């Protein structure tokens, strides 16, 4: 994705990305979508950006569209974080003042008022058995009155049969998928990506000392706010 972002910004014969998962076929992801303006964002993104406050960490920043809006329009202090060096380079040349190229699990030393995880933010948790580790680390990055704003999608509908029944895996959570990116004929190694239903996220939040609030429900997708229990 970083290569596609870099090529698109520099007009270097960019092509659209192709994505697939272990339960879905190839689908096009236009690189221009990663550079969208606020007006082009979905209702979950817009609400999350409106609710963001104080010092913000934009986790999985990509091309930096969320960070740019918060920095330039909301005038908030924002750090764009992404594991892709080329994505972070583009965040910087687009004018984002603070950035960090690393995994969220290695990001330490600062705390924030808002931790932002958008574009299926629950995907970063990888698998169900890693949620506690991620939530505890995110909790360590929050200021006392801080918040986590995260979106997710319940993909149970993808397992529905013609008769209305569901054929889901018996040995694993149905939202645990392998996610694969293709760009210019090259295929990235599969990564674990978690699509999490709200109730499962709510249970995990409770187990990790966090209150959760459902902010927006849009079809099978949702935006949630997590905060420390008082």
How would you list the strands of the sheet with 55-59, edge to edge? 98-101, 77-82, 55-59, 112-117, 142-153, 221-228, 210-218
Domain spanning 2-228, CATH class: alpha beta
The CA distances from residue 195 to 126, 151, 200, in Å, are 9, 10, 10
Closest CA to 114 of 88, 60, 87, 77: 77
pLDDT value of position 164: 87
The mean pLDDT values, 10 residues at a time, for the chain of 230 residues are: 96 95 94 97 98 98 98 98 98 98 96 98 97 98 97 95 89 95 93 97 98 97 96
Place of tokens 């992404």: 82
Q: What is the pTM of this model?
A: 0.96
The whole-angstrom separation of Cα 12 and Cα 113 is 37
pLDDT value of position 230: 82
Residue 52 structure tokens: 């963001």
């Amino acid at each position: 994705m970083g290569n596609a972002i870099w090529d698109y910004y520099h007009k270097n014969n960019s092509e659209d990305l192709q994505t697939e998962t272990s339960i879905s076929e190839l689908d096009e992801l236009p690189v221009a979508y990663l550079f969208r303006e606020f007006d082009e964002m979905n209702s979950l993104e817009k609400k999350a950006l409106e609710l963001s406050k104080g010092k913000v960490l934009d986790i999985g920043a990509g091309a930096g569209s969320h960070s740019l809006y918060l920095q330039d329009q909301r005038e908030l202090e924002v750090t764009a974080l992404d594991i892709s060096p080329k994505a972070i380079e583009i965040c910087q040349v687009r004018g984002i003042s603070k950035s960090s190229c690393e995994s969220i699990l290695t990001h330490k030393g600062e705390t924030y008022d808002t931790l932002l995880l958008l574009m299926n933010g629950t995907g970063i948790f990888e698998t169900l058995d890693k949620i506690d580790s991620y939530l505890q680390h995110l909790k360590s990055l929050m200021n006392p009155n801080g918040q986590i704003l995260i979106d997710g999608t319940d993909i149970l509908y993808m397992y529905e049969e013609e008769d209305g029944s569901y054929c889901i895996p018996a040995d694993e959570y149905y939202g645990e998928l392998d996610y694969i990116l293709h760009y210019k004929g090259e295929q990235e190694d599969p990564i674990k990506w978690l699509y999490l239903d709200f109730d499962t996220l709510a249970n995990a939040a409770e187990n990790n000392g966090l209150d959760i609030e459902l902010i927006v429900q849009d079809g099978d997708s949702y935006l949630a706010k997590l905060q420390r229990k008082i």
